[in-house]
A and B are shown apart, each in its own frame.
Chain A
């Protein structure tokens, strides 16, 4: 597999990252990326994407909600036949 272009590299990126590609395919992708500043930049941004969304949506459950959750569950259990 020597005909890697950006498109095929992007398609295979998650399998590459999870170590699932055959050694020759892996080597072909690495050879392409080593000479491709676009792919290098794309991969960096692909890897950052989950972290950015994760950090931006890290909600804490408010303390009053913790109390009302237990109370609601107790009330529901009490209403069980």
Chain B
């Protein structure tokens, strides 16, 4: 036989895991652990992520019988991981250092953006203006400061780069709701970055 056998699909592996094949389950863990870890870091923190990852895959193992092959495995997994992250935040009564609720673009009485073009554009250079480590902390603080519903949508859509349709399936809401939440989150985070970069008075 020449070449490698085609890799099993996620859905095949999930079906085999449901039938008791532990090796298939572990293949899924290996395939997704990096993505789930990154998602968990963003939804909670680097410190809490290991617990969230373990809880996520344990839920996958326990519930794989309920997974229906007509859904995408990754969608199902992201839903479990997102919920695990939220449960973890609630269990910790995690309160963000700062809330982004008040961070909104500002308009004058005529509906015109208040800031000058240069001040508006300074966000584009925030990664040149700030130290890498500081920016990493502030970016995590920005995610943390979003309302829960906006955080989930923003992290899945803009940071994990799922499509709007996929995020809608993960969160079980309409695509229009996803767009609305992602948009609100982007506006808040944009203002927050603008303040960091000195563009927001």
Contact = CB atoms under 8 A, between A and B. Distances in A.
B113 A10 contact: yes
A6 B135 CA distance: 29
B29 A73 contact: yes
Interface string B36-53: 011001100010011001
Given A38-B112, A38-B113, A41-B120, A14 B127 contact: no
Chain A interface main SS type:
helix
Nearest to B158: A50
A66 interface: yes
B143 interface: yes
Given A5-B112, A37-B117, A57 B179 contact: no
A60 B33 CA distance: 10
B187 A57 contact: no
A49 B189 contact: yes
A77 to B, nearest CB: 7
B115 interface: yes
B193 A54 contact: no
Contact of A48 (B29, B123, B135, B164): B123
Contacts of A13: 183
Contacts, number: 137
A50 B161 CA distance: 9
Contact of B139 (A53, A60, A76): A53
Contact count band on A: 35 or more
Given A18-B164, A50-B186, A57-B140, A42 B194 contact: no
A61 B33 contact: yes
Contact count band on B: 35 or more
Contacts of A10: 105, 113, 187
A61 B107 contact: no
B182 A14 contact: yes
A68 B37 CA distance: 13
Nearest to B179: A14
B158 to A, nearest CB: 4
B158 A53 contact: yes
B46 to A, nearest CB: 6
Given A6-B107, A76-B58, A40 B117 contact: yes
A15 B175 CA distance: 11
A70 B116 contact: no
Given A46-B186, A60-B34, A5 B29 contact: no
